[in-house]
């Protein structure tokens, strides 16, 4: 994934050996701290190996001896475009983004209490007004898409599916020393709104900053203009329509910023899961006949230079070969990984004379920060997960059509009655 995001953003880690007794003790110690939904997952206590990774809650230029306070924001931005593939069978997928549709199914299944107003297309728009709205929506309904850490400790966000710490006044109390170190600001709702506004402004500037180059910059990119630049279900879009405005501004992202690179990697999903699934079936059929070819096709890696070179073919004309199908499947896996990655923004306050040229700096109204931006959760999505994605896509779209769009559209509501069973009566003529 370094090829797509760049050296500075991706930390591949280092494999280290650990005493088995230490691993067993660690497993027992962390078990009570794990979210309920993760307690059925077991830590591997037998291999004796682990990945050693940097602590991304602090800037990468940060030195432990500095003893400065640390602030870190983790954002899971999700998919930032609407499918443009001709393989899409339901027109709604060309109008409403996957995230906004999925929200309704998650609420129905009890995962969340209410849908979020966050829409990824607003964050990826590059338009600061839309980005601010998206980040404010994430702060209002963090779910598992936003977390804030102070000195490495979670102070805002969800520990579990329903266990959310989302008190803005409490958050403002934590953030005030970072943004208004002189304590000259009055307390109360006005103070809270001002501090949250400062936070949103700083996050936006760091997301739009450019601090790295990558090889994917040389790849022929998929034009963002191919897809719709806004989502009809976006609360920001609905507000504009209510106010009689029908044009959503999309300023576009700076080519060097991390959001742009993330979006380009996501857009390797050129066929949508509906167009991809038949190609996956073609590869599967080939592997059933020639199972020994699995390693040659690099289904399970190694994800090396040869693997990367195959991803450069962005053609969508199917020539009926297994090679074409495999390339699209591997591109889809990259895209799915980029759609589910997390972005870590680490901030540390600094005085003007302390900010060296070697460090990236972002300015707030009354303070300045050194910062670094990193990406994590970049393990390539498994080949075997494609059938699940295909099934889930159908469930998301069908639920949205029957339970959300149908309520907004009286014609549709007549098509989807509560009891869908019907009787066909044949009359002799």
- In the chain, where the domains are located: 1-53, 56-418
pLDDT score, position 329: 97
For residue 318, give every residue at least 6 positions away whose Cβ sits within 8 Å of its Cβ, in sequence order, or none: 279, 324, 325
92 φ, ψ (degrees, to nearest 5): -60, -30
d(CA 74, CA 256): 20
Adjacent-strand bridge partners of 218: none
Query: Which strands, in side-by-side order, build the sheet including 342-349?
Result: 164-165, 153-158, 146-150, 71-75, 342-349, 368-376, 361-363
| CA gap 327, 321 in Å, rounded | 10
75 near 115, Cβ under 8 Å? no
CA neighbor of 146 nearest in space, from 127, 130, 126, 168:
168
Task: Give, for 359, the enclosing helix (H) or strand (E).
Answer: none
Q: What is the pLDDT of residue 60?
A: 77
pLDDT for the residue 241: 78
pLDDT means over runs of 10, the chain (429 residues): 89 91 91 78 86 87 74 97 95 96 95 93 95 95 93 83 69 91 65 92 95 59 63 90 70 89 95 98 97 94 91 93 97 97 94 67 89 92 97 97 77 43 60
The candidate with the shortest Cα–Cα distance to 260, out of 300, 311, 224, 296, is: 224
49 bridge partner residues: 17
What is residue 61's predicted lDDT score, i.e. its pLDDT?
A: 72
Predicted local distance difference test score (pLDDT) of residue 223 = 54
Give the pLDDT score at 417: 44
> Which 3 state secondary structure label does DSSP give 312?
coil
Calpha distance 358→353 (Å, rounded): 13
Cis-peptide into 302, omega within 30 deg: yes
* Gap between the Cα atoms of 84 and 348, Å rounded: 40
Q: Exposed, middle or buried: residue 421 (CB in 10 Å: 0-12, 13-18, 19+)?
A: exposed
* Stretch (H or E) spanning 412: helix 410-415
The whole-number pLDDT of residue 251 equals 72
**pLDDT for position 159:** 60
Q: How far apart are CA 167 and CA 156, in angstroms?
A: 8
């Amino acid at each position: 994934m370094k090829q797509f995001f760049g050296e500075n953003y991706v930390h591949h880690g280092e494999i280290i050996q650990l005493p088995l007794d230490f691993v067993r003790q660690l497993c027992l110690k962390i078990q009570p701290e794990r979210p309920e939904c993760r307690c059925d997952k077991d830590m591997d206590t037998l291999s004796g190996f682990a990945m050693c990774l940097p602590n991304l809650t602090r800037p990468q230029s940060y030195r432990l001896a500095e003893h400065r306070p640390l602030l870190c924001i983790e954002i899971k931005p999700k998919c930032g475009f609407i499918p443009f593939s001709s393989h899409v069978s339901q027109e709604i997928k060309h109008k409403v983004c996957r995230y906004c549709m999925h929200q309704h199914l998650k609420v129905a299944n009890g995962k969340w209490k209410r849908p979020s107003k966050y829409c990824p297309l607003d964050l990826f728009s590059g338009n600061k007004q839309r980005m601010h709205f998206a980040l404010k929506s994430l702060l209002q309904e963090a779910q598992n898409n936003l977390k804030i850490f102070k000195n490495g400790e979670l102070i805002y966000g969800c520990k579990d599916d329903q266990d959310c710490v989302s008190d803005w006044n409490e958050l403002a109390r934590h953030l005030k020393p970072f943004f208004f170190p002189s304590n000259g600001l009055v307390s109360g709702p006005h103070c809270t709104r001002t501090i949250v506004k400062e936070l949103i402004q700083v996050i936006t500037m760091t997301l739009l900053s450019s601090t790295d180059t990558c090889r994917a910059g040389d790849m022929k990119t998929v034009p963002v203009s191919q897809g719709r630049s806004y989502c009809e279900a976006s609360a920001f879009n609905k507000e504009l329509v209510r106010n009689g405005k029908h044009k959503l501004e999309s300023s576009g992202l700076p080519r060097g910023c991390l959001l742009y690179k993330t979006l380009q990697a996501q857009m390797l999903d050129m066929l949508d899961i509906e167009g991809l699934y038949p190609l996956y079936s073609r590869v599967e059929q080939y592997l059933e006949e020639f199972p020994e070819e699995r390693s040659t096709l690099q289904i399970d890696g190694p994800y090396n230079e040869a693997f990367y070179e195959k991803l450069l073919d962005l053609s969508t004309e199917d020539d009926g070969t297994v090679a074409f199908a495999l390339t699209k499947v591997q591109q889809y896996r990259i895209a799915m990984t980029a759609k589910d990655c997390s972005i870590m923004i680490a901030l540390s306050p600094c005085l003007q004379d302390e900010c060296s040229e070697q460090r990236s700096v972002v300015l707030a109204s009354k303070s300045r920060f050194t910062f670094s931006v990193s990406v994590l959760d970049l393990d390539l999505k498994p080949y075997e997960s494609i059938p699940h994605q295909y099934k889930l896509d159908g469930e998301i779209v069908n639920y949205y059509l029957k339970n959300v769009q149908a309520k907004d559209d009286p014609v549709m509501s007549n098509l989807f009655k509560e009891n869908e069973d019907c009787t066909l009566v044949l009359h002799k003529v």
